[in-house]
């Protein structure tokens, strides 16, 4: 009995490991002819959660990126500073060329206020002020930016400054910027700031340069950029019915229309479909030597699978033939597999709903049970 119990425990542990693994199988992209023509030299449309590429055009050529650089600046700041911290504007931030908040050396603002100035007004001086506040110098901050790029797998990206003014070697790709934006929009503070259309901070009235916020349904964030060397650059994110997409265009004279057209095509063809809800009870497992004969199992988390509209989505419950008592609520007993067109694309752990204690009477010998029944 003890030997069998050890085998079962090993089996359950193996299933627990398998249930913890989330598999996102690649989904074939649509044919090139099914997508709108875009003016950009480089472009990409991805699904934010999985990174699945839906459309791409020369997405791996490094190019100057102008002020979409500030997406990385904002991310590094959010990960290394509190929004309520007070920033004293350093002298090197005063008079930075290009778009500006017209900050004055010695002026004080919060990190939050400067992030609004960075992402809405695209203030180059705000970028320098934040960089010096977080890292002590622009150079040290740029080091943090490049470290973060490496962490995110942005293999062809290199930063030279925190604002995006033209500099030799300062470059990225459409694919890398899509990875960056997917990470940015996972931060609620970033989304709150980047989705604001208008705000007044430190006696300054700011208007978001992202025109899609007011014109395209589902837009939640974005960053614009322009220099003569980079042309018009644009990185945005939009969400409908739980499906979140990221679009990047580099050197694109018709970027607003291109983003809208790519999003419309993406939302028309793909969806994120609910397969199981957290706490849903799909089955039960027999319990050996328990005070109850079985224990129900529930999904440890919900699952929404990314798929084409029209794909066949099914689920499959994988449980052992039985388990031994004692069972505790929360014990992982099996898994639920989510299949897209017959292929497993996600797994969800199935946990015991309640405790099932061992039935001590079943452990008594025949003569002990007889004595107990006779009251001896």
Instruction: Give the pair of three-digit tokens for residue 235.
Output: 């990185």
* Catalytic entry in 42, 57, 67, 148: 67
- Is 100 one of the catalytic residues? no
- Is 122 one of the catalytic residues? yes
d(CA 131, CA 127): 6
What are the C-alpha distances in Å from 6 to residues 13, 20, 324, 325, 359? 11, 21, 10, 13, 19
Cis peptide before 326 (omega within 30 of 0): yes
The candidate with the shortest Cα–Cα distance to 72, out of 182, 167, 210, is 182
Evaluate whether 340 touches 312 at the Cβ level (below 8 Å): yes
Instruction: Give the pair of three-digit tokens for residue 169.
Output: 């070697």
What is residue 5's DSSP assignment?
H
Kind and range of the H or E run holding 294: strand 294-299
Evaluate whether 184 touches 246 at the Cβ level (below 8 Å): no
Which of helix, strand or coil describes residue 188? helix
Evaluate whether 15 touches 335 at the Cβ level (below 8 Å): yes
186-200 exposure pattern, b = at least 16 Cβ within 10 A, e = fewer: ebeebbebbbbeebe
d(CA 4, CA 95): 75
* Catalytic entry in 42, 122, 148, 172: 122
Strand duo 231-240 + 219-227: pairing: antiparallel
d(CA 38, CA 264): 13
- Is 200 one of the catalytic residues? no
Which of helix, strand or coil describes residue 295? strand
Total residue count of the chain as it appears in this document: 376
Q: How many CB atoms lie within 10 A of CB 154?
A: 22
Evaluate whether 82 touches 72 at the Cβ level (below 8 Å): no
* Catalytic entry in 57, 70, 223, 300: 70
Instruction: Please list the active-site residues.
Output: 67, 70, 122
């Amino acid at each position: 009995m003890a030997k069998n119990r050890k085998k079962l425990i090993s089996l359950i542990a193996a299933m627990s490991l398998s249930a913890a693994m989330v598999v996102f199988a690649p989904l074939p992209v649509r044919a090139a002819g099914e997508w709108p023509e875009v003016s950009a030299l480089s472009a990409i449309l991805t699904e934010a959660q999985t990174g699945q590429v839906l459309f791409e055009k020369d997405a791996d050529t490094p190019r100057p990126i102008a002020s979409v650089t500030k997406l990385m600046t904002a991310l590094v700041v959010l990960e290394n500073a509190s929004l309520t911290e007070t920033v004293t504007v350093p002298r090197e931030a005063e008079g930075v060329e290009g778009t500006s908040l017209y900050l004055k050396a010695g002026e004080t603002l919060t990190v939050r206020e400067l992030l609004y100035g960075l992402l809405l007004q695209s203030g180059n001086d705000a970028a320098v002020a934040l960089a010096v506040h977080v890292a002590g110098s622009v150079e040290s901050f740029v080091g943090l930016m490049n470290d973060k790029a490496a962490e995110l797998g942005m293999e062809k990206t290199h930063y030279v400054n925190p604002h995006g003014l033209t500099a030799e070697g300062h470059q990225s790709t459409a694919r890398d910027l899509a990875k960056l934006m997917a990470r940015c929009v996972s931060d609620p503070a970033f989304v709150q700031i980047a989705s604001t259309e208008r705000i007044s901070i430190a006696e300054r009235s700011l208007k978001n340069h992202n025109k899609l916020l007011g014109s395209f349904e589902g837009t939640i964030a974005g960053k614009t950029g322009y220099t003569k060397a980079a042309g018009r650059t644009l990185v945005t994110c939009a969400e409908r019915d739980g499906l979140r997409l990221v679009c990047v265009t580099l050197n694109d004279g018709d970027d607003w229309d291109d983003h809208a057209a790519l999003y419309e095509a993406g939302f028309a063809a793909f969806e994120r479909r609910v397969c199981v809800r957290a706490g849903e009870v799909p089955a039960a497992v027999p319990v050996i030597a328990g005070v109850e004969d079985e224990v129900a199992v529930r999904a440890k988390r919900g699952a929404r699978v990314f798929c084409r509209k029209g794909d066949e989505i099914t689920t499959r419950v994988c449980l052992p033939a039985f388990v031994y008592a004692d069972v505790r609520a929360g014990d992982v007993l099996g898994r639920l597999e989510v299949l897209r067109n017959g292929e497993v694309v996600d797994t969800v752990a199935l946990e015991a709903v309640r405790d099932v204690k061992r039935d001590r009477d079943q452990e008594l010998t025949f003569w002990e049970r007889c004595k107990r029944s006779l009251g001896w």
